[in-house]
Each structure stands twice: as structure tokens, then as C-alpha cells.
Structure 1
Amino acid sequence: MYQLVIFDFDGTIFDTYEAIEHSIQLTFRELLPTHPAPSHAAIRPLVSTGAPPGDTFRALHPDPDFDETFWVARYRELYALHGQARARPYPAARDVLDALRARNVPVAIISNKAAVAVKAALAKSDLLEYFPDPLILGHGLAGVGRKPDPSSFTEILRPRLKEHTGREWAAEDRVLMVGDTLTDIHYARNIGATVCWCRYGQGDVQACEALQPDYTIDALVDLLEVVKVAP
């Protein structure tokens, strides 16, 4: 039995691709109306890497000297206003979380997405109750670095787990990282976790398969079999 399951958010628990693409295009239409908004074909490969918004805008913007900080901030505002409604949990998300709760397996979220956006989406779908607030880590929280940097686990989550569960968390504890992109697979390896790759998500299939994740699932509900068969 795994002693902890860490979820990515985008492309893992929630289908957010439409929300992300729509918000990127809205940002271009508002801040650079004289330039065509990027197409699906241009956006998709960038999102599939799990890279942060700044990387995406740098790749898409025609001016290398654009104000990246302002663009990313406006993107996040537009996502909250117009993208959030397009994000939805994958089928069986509640069933999976109910089953993990029944097995007394703690769950956490570590995302490169803004923590406020993650919590808003979970609350909108009545799934926030499954994740203790201290165990939801994302952009904008003090000390939380971007995956695949392992510090969000080693320096932030592990001490919070001790406080939440009342016991020490050692490196040899069985941790399952569930995610859909190269970033998540590299992160799992960096923290010494078993990795469950979500083929159904937003990641580049060929690149992720090449990294030989420990488990591959084609639907979120399949995670229950991974937990069940864990040695």
C-alpha cells in the first residue's frame, strides 16, 4: 500500500486544456490585438511539456523584449474570469478520491499552476474537501519551487505531512506521484517516488513513454488498480 499519493492537477485530476488554450488566446487578443492569436497547433506542444505560462508566452510572443511578468499576471486574471468555467474534473475523480480516503491513504497536490486556481477549481466541483489545505502546493505559495525541483516535497510537503499525520516521513516511505507530463515524471524521480503516468492527460505521449514510467493509466479510475497492486 502506498503511504501517500501526490497528484499533479492539470491533465491529471482536471481536464484544463481548453481553459488554458482559451486564456492564452484571450491574453494575446487583449494585449497584442494587431497580431494573430496563436493557434491550437502552436499552443498544444508547449502545454504538453508542463512548462509554466512564462515559458509558453516567451515561445509564442513575436517580441523577445515583451513584459513577461505583466503578460503572465494578466493571463492568470483572464483564466480566473473566463478559463475556470472550462475546467472540469475527469470522470470518476470523486470515486478515486473516495476510495483513497476509505483506504486511509493521504493525498496531496503539487502543481506548477497557481494554488489559488487549483483551489478554486476544486471548490467549484465540490472536491476541495478531499485535500487538506496545507497539502495543496502550487505557484504563489512561499517557498514552493516549480517541478521538477524536488524542494516542494523535501522542504515544504514533508514537514507539513508530519504535522498533518503526526508521524515522521522518511525517504523510504512509499510515495506515488500521479501526473501527465515530462515534468511530473522527472519530479517523481527527483523525490524518489514511484511514478504513475496519465496517458489521457496533456503530456507528449512519445516523450513520456520514452521515460518508462512505473505505471501508465488510460483513465483516472485506473489509478485504483495501481494502488491495489502495489507491493
Structure 2
Amino acid sequence: MFRMIIFDLDGTVLNTLDDIHSSLMDTLDKFGLEKFGIDTTRTFVGDGIRKLIERAVSPDKYSENIENYFREIYNKRLVETTKPYDGITDVMERLKAAGACQVVLSNKATEYTDSIVRHFGLDRYLDGWYGFDCFHEKKPSPLPVREILKEKGFSVDDALMIGDNYTDIESGAGAGIKTCFCKYGYGKLRSVQADFFIGSPSEIPQIAGLK
């Protein structure tokens, strides 16, 4: 059994896409920019808000005003339609009962991560949660994973990274731990392949080594 489980948040524990998309569309409308469907937004998420806005408006049209407006709107809609994926809290409860250390590592800012974790009561299962600004580098850098392992006192053999995007898999693999890709999320892989693949949260206990 893996004694340390590192979860991504968006697309892994929580389905946040609708709230991100609606906030983004209102932002584009505010600045008179071309809007698009949610499937396009799906391809833009996973690398933080700055990258999301750059991809949505194009790098040459990006401005801090646009990003700040999005942040203001999204902060009000963090949990309008966002909800945990079916079965994920049951899985986290089982992992906790088995003695696993569980944390969330997100490319969201810590203020958003903290608000969402507490709103959905995920803090009852977790031993920590981290936004991108908790570290000098963010996923796909392996640094956050290494720092978390050091802080919690686990070796690379103890740990499993679970996420739905290349940022999660590359971060975990770069740190030397096993990785699990969530096909039910809205991210994608690039050059680094995961060790495990799952189609729903219900498959996590088997991957994690629970009996």
C-alpha cells in the first residue's frame, strides 16, 4: 500500500470546469473578446490562471486587468456548480482509515485551494493542501512533490501522485514517485506516461494497494 497519496484538485477530486468556464466567458464578454465552448476551456486549464487567460485571449492580448477581472469573478463562483466526483470522498475516507497520509497539490492559488477544500469538508481527510504559491516552482516541476515528501517524512517508494493532467504526472515522475492518470478528468498527457490509469475514483483503492 502507498502510505502517501498526493491528489491534484481540479479534474481529479473536484469537477470545477463549469465554474471556470462561466467565469471565463463573462471575462471575455467584459473585454469584448471572442468567446468559445466549454470543450475549448477544458484544453486551457491545468497550468494556473495566468496561462488560462493567455490561452483564452492569446498572449499578445493578455493583460493583468483581464486576469484580475477573471480572478474577481471566479472568486465569487468557486463553488456555484463545482462538486466532488462521485465516490471520491468515500475513497479518501477509506484511505484515511487505512492510515494513508493524503494531501492536495494544486496549481490553483492557495487562497482558492483553501476555500474549496474547507467548503467541501475535504480537510477532514487531508493532512495538508498546497497551492502553487506554496513553493518556488509549480507543477510540472518535481520540486513541490519533493518538498511535500520531505515535510511529511516519506520516501519516494511510499508515495503515489494522482492527477488528470500532464503537470501532475510529470511532477510526480520527476520526483521519482509512482503516478496515476485520471481519464475521467479534463487534462491530457504529453511525453511522460503514467504508471497507472483509472476511469473513475472507484478504482483508486486498488491502485493505492488497499485490501
Question: Normalised by the size of structure 2, how large is the TM-score?
Answer: 0.89
| Matches of 1:83 and 1:8, distance apart in 2 | 16
* 2:171 corresponds to which of 187, 207, 213: 187
**Residue in structure 2 matched with residue 223 of structure 1 by the alignment:** 204
Q: How far off its partner does 1:51 sit?
A: 2.1
Deviates more, 1:183-192 or 1:80-89: 80-89
* 2:95 corresponds to which of 82, 94, 100: 100
What does 1:1-231 align with in structure 2 at a 5 Å threshold?
Answer: 1-30=1-30, 32=31, 34-47=32-45, 50-61=46-57, 64-67=60-63, 69-132=64-127, 135-141=128-134, 143-155=135-147, 157-162=148-153, 169-170=154-155, 172-204=156-188, 207=189, 211-228=192-209
Instruction: Rate the CA distance shift 1:16–1:154 in 2: closer, same or farther, 3 A.
Output: same
Unaligned runs of 5+ in 2: none
**What is the RMSD of the two structures over their aligned residues, measured on CA atoms?**
2.2
Count of residue pairs brought into register by the alignment: 211
Report runs of 4+ in structure 1 exceeding 6 Å deviation: none
**Residue in structure 2 matched with residue 166 of structure 1 by the alignment:** none
In the alignment, is the contact (CA less than 8 A) between 1:4 and 1:174 conserved in 2?
Answer: yes
| Matches of 2:210 and 2:94, distance apart in 1 | 14
Instruction: Rate the CA distance shift 1:147–1:104 in 2: closer, same or farther, 3 A.
Output: same
Instruction: Rate the CA distance shift 1:59–1:106 in 2: closer, same or farther, 3 A.
Output: same
Give the residue type in structure 2 aligned to 1:152.
P
In the alignment, is the contact (CA less than 8 A) between 1:198 and 1:216 conserved in 2?
Answer: yes
Unaligned runs of 5+ in 1: 163-168
In the alignment, is the contact (CA less than 8 A) between 2:137 and 2:144 conserved in 1?
Answer: yes
Which one has a bigger Cα radius of gyration?
1
| Matches of 1:62 and 1:4, distance apart in 2 | 39
| Matches of 1:42 and 1:158, distance apart in 2 | 35
Give the residue type in structure 2 aligned to 1:201.
G
Q: How far off its partner does 1:5 sit?
A: 0.3
In the alignment, is the contact (CA less than 8 A) between 1:139 and 1:145 conserved in 2?
Answer: yes
| Matches of 2:197 and 2:118, distance apart in 1 | 28
| Matches of 2:130 and 2:208, distance apart in 1 | 22
In the alignment, is the contact (CA less than 8 A) between 2:145 and 2:172 conserved in 1?
Answer: no
